[in-house]
Amino acid sequence: MSRPLIAVTTSQRSGWRIFPLVWFNLWLAGARAVRWGVGRPADLGAVDGLIIGGGDDVGPELYGGVLGVSATLDRARDDLERGLATEALEIGLPVLGICRGAQMMNVALGGTLDQDAWETFGEAEKIKTILPKRDVDVMYDTHLARICGPERMRVNALHTQAVEALGRGLRVAARDSWGMIQAVERVEDPFALGVQWHPEHLFYARRQRLLFKALVAAARAYGASRGQVDAVLKQR
């Protein structure tokens, strides 16, 4: 069976080192990857799935906020990814959001972000590392629980912002020990899941690899259904 093609959006600052990690995880899961970003071609009609990657803060003007603590903004990337997220979610393209990507997915559906989540959750231990040192509680009866299992998960953390008010059709899939939202997901199909951590750095952890496998399975199904539609149209 051919490998589905997954588009991966990246930061202009750090994409050169992050994309190879995401590519590796997708390859392990049975997919191919293509890097998208500001100044690069982007056509959702040419891919079977989308990963909105991490890095950079989401500009607060996208959700009615005011500029505060955010220091690493890329408005050209904001425009690109908000458009891609909105269209992908509308057409049913499978989406996995990673850190910023989870936030962008929420914003594209009308949600808001907490620009300084560590201040809001003042008792939370501020952990910023690619190592799995943060405990996350997976919500029962969620897609995330069915993909990775409902047991408590230990993940990494590199974010300053976090999901605040949920976007349309989303629910909380995981929170950390202090209650901060750590994963959101679309209630109904098609596949759309956003995680606040960085599973691409945790390729040695089976449960993190399962996130990419779930995306790839959804992308393969999406590609097959699109192929069937194209075949019918050609016969007309």
Q: What positions carry a catalytic annotation?
A: 99, 198, 200
Whole-angstrom CA distances from 18 to 25, 27, 56, 138, 186 are 11, 14, 13, 26, 25
- Our CA dihedral for 92, 20, 130, 170, rounded to 10 degrees, sits at 0
Strands 95-98 and 49-52 come out as: parallel
- Looking at residue 109, the DSSP 8-state letter turns out to be T
**SS3 state at 225:** helix
Three-state SS at 118: helix
Angstrom distance (rounded) from CA 97 to CA 150: 20
**HSE-CB for 71 with a 13 A CA cutoff:** 4
Contact indicator for 7, 50 with CB cutoff of 8 Å:
yes
Q: Are 29 and 209 in contact (CB under 8 A)?
A: yes
